[in-house]
Amino acid sequence: MFSYDELTSPERELWNAFPAGRAVDLRAGAPGDDQVAEGGQWGPERTVRAPVIAALMLGSHSGQPGAVPCLRLAGARIVGPLDLAGAQLAYALWLEECWFEEAVNLLGATTRTLVFKGCQVPGIEAGATRVEGNFDLGRSVIESGAPSHFHHRITALSLTNARVTGGVILNKAELNAPGGWALAAGGLVMEGGFFCRPGFVARGEVRFPGAQLPGGLYMDGARLEEPSPRGLALNLENSAASTVVLSDGFVANGTVGLRGARISAGLSFAGAVLNGPPDGNGPSLSAPLMQAVDFDFALAAPPSGAVDLRGAQVSYLHDSERSWPDVVELDGFVYGSVKGDETGGRREATGQRNSVAHRVAWIRRSPGYNPQPYEQLASWYRRSGHDDEARRVLLAKQRHRRHTLPPAARLWGHLLDVTVGYGYRPWLAGVWLLALTLLGTLSFRGHSPHPVQRGEGAPFQPLVYTLDLLIPIGGLGQRTAWYWSNESLQWLAYLLIAIGWVLTTAVIAGVSRALQKN
């Protein structure tokens, strides 16, 4: 406990102002003298001991009737540790453009609104803290301090397992923990929004694993650099949010991790840049098992690393030609609708010229062969009433699958492809039949075969005879009634019979394959 006589002049001013909630502004008023980064050089006229602030927040100077106590301080050099761990704070704390000599400890505290606006702080520990109001750190620079109580890594700002009934505001803030954790917010429970809007810079991993963000996460225009050793710039694994906005100039120089994240409304990367880990060893986006309603992936530039969407589920997918890198993991990815962004506008994928070729090329970016991405795309086309496009996708699936088969099966696959398009182009059988019928008719016309039994059977008809050779089932009475002494024509007849059997078998196999799910 401090006696009034022990207080310095600026501390007495703060002590007297606290009961009425008046602001104490120690700034010099000259721009050159109020640079917070140079706050360590400020003199005693601007110095306040952190224990004095703690004493006021803990009720050392009771309020006066008709006033709401509040600690409001600007332009101060705060020396010593501000340790409020486990405290029950009944008053709001409002600090603006203050320089802190040591880290702030709010571990397990219960407090009202907290404002550290434009401050420079060597680390804030707010794990398991309950904030009844907003937590505003706008324009502040928070440097990495010692390892957090909840984890061993160097951390700038810890909100692990904290609960905030209002919003967390980090607009234009800077969190510095290169190679460590710039923000550790695993298990954070929010009721308001989490804002890291233009000007926000994080050096180190920004972590929200298992966080609950019903008010949304807004990082449009944010920049994430110098990720953790795992290469993660943003970690939202197994988190739940209403909206996640990573758009309009958002830059991640590391992996954006969304494994198992559940986003009840929109996930937007519109205009974002995903550079992936600096060493190139890791994906730009890792979102297996992610769930979202609206997924806008119209990036400003193609990602430098892979995009992993295995097992993800979205209702609406928006993308553009700049969305996809060379490697895209799509096995198990389910979507209800696809829209492409062309020259600033969006159009249904089914309405784009050559959209099937474009989408098939997209699927082929996935390593190896997986039937599900083809089935998913074909299902989308079919539900949209575009059966022809669906068949083209399924044909592409069979052609891709063929490359995984042994040589004999590949040869049979080529035959199915050429003859009937694996059953998805049955009209090819008619083309072959017409061409072979024409070939046989022209070859046999002008030549006279020998009757098997003289004086019996119908007269020789080259067209009917050719059709009888090509159709292996039934018979038109010509094939068994005539034979050739001309060896070349006889071999042609044998060849047409063999081709007829092969063509019929291919048609049956292709149609049967087309009727199967895979």
The predicted-structure confidence for 176-186, as pLDDT tens digits, reads as follows 999 999 999 99
In a domain, 277, yes or no: yes
pLDDT on residue 444:
82
Q: Residue 515 pLDDT > 80, yes or no?
A: no
The sign of the CA dihedral 294, 300, 301, 305 is: negative
The backbone torsions φ and ψ at residue 267, rounded to the nearest 5 degrees and listed phi first, read: -120, 115
CA angle 129, 134, 136 (to 5 degrees): 95
Question: Could you report the per-residue pLDDT of 232-256, keeping only the tens digit for each?
Answer: 999 999 999 999 999 999 999 999 9
pTM score, two decimals?
0.82
Condensed to tens digits (0 to 9), the pLDDT of residues 72-96 reads 999 999 999 999 999 999 999 999 9
Chain mean position to CA 491: 62
Answer for the pair 86, 126: CB distance below 8 angstroms, yes or no: no
292 and 372 inside one domain: yes
- Band (pLDDT 50/70/90 cuts) for residue 145 is low
Domain end residue (candidates: 402, 433, 450): 402
pLDDT of residue 343: 47
User: pLDDT, tens digit, for every residue of 311-343?
Assistant: 999 999 999 989 999 999 999 999 999 988 754
CA of residue 513 relative to chain centroid, distance:
35
Nearest to 48 by CA among 98, 123, 96: 98
Answer yes or no: do 420 and 398 share one domain.
Answer: no
**Within this chain, do residues 171 and 291 fall inside the same structural domain, yes or no?**
yes
- Residue 13, Ramachandran bin (φ over 0: left; ψ between -120 and 50: alpha; else beta): alpha
Q: Report the mean per-residue pLDDT for the chain.
A: 88
Are residues 266 and 235 located together in one domain of the fold? Answer: yes
> Is it the case that residue 141 has pLDDT exceeding 70?
yes
Angstrom distance (rounded) from CA 269 to CA 243: 12
3-state per-residue secondary structure call for 281-347: CCCCEECCCCEEEEEECCCCCCCCCCEECCCCEEEEEEEECCCCCCCEECCCCEEEEEEEEECCEEE
Same domain assignment for residues 398 and 499 = no
Look at residue 328 and tell me if it is in a domain: no
Q: Do 376 and 441 fall into the same domain?
A: no
Whole-angstrom distance, CA of residue 165 vs CA of residue 55: 25
pLDDT value, residue 413:
79
- Burial class from Cβ neighbours inside 10 Å (0-12, 13-18, 19+) for residue 491 reads exposed
Q: Do the domain assignments include residue 33?
A: no
Q: What is the pLDDT of residues 7-28, one digit of tens each?
A: 999 999 999 999 999 999 999 9
Per cent of the chain over pLDDT 90 is: 63
C-alpha to C-alpha distances, 328 to 6, 88, 244, 361, 367, nearest whole angstrom: 66, 50, 21, 11, 8
Tokens of 401: 């699958």
* For residues 36-50, average pLDDT: 96
Does 430 map to a domain? yes
Domains held by the chain: number: 2
Question: pLDDT tens for residues 364-387?
Answer: 999 999 999 999 999 999 898 888
Q: Which residue type, as a one-letter code, is found at position 220? A: D
Which segment of 125-134, 177-186, 321-330, 416-425 scores lowest on mean pLDDT? 416-425
Distance CA 198, CA 103 (A): 26
Give yes or no: residues 396 and 478 share one domain. no
* Residue 460 confidence class, pLDDT cut points 50, 70, 90: confident
376 and 355 belong to one structural domain: yes
Domain boundary among 379, 402, 425: 402
**Residue 352 predicted with pLDDT over 70:** no
pLDDT value of position 265: 94
For residue 389, what are the domain limits? 49-60+70-322+341-402
Residue labelled with tokens 């969407």 = 309
Kindly state whether residues 396 and 440 are assigned to the same domain. no
Please check whether residue 391 is in contact with residue 428, taking contact to mean a CB–CB distance below 8 angstroms. Answer: no
Query: Average of pLDDT values for 45-66?
Result: 89
Q: Are 463 and 441 in contact (CB under 8 A)?
A: yes
Continuous H helices in 58-104? none
Task: Decide: residue 458, CB within 10 A, 0-12 exposed, 13-18 middle, 19+ buried.
Answer: exposed
pLDDT in tens, 146-172: 565 555 678 999 999 999 999 999 999
Q: Is residue 428 part of a domain?
A: yes
Is 265 in the same domain as 355?
yes
Same domain assignment for residues 429 and 289:
no
Q: For residue 197, what pLDDT band results from cuts at 50, 70 and 90?
A: very high
For the cut 90, the answer to whether the pLDDT of residue 351 exceeds it is no
In a domain, 39, yes or no: no
In a domain, 17, yes or no: no
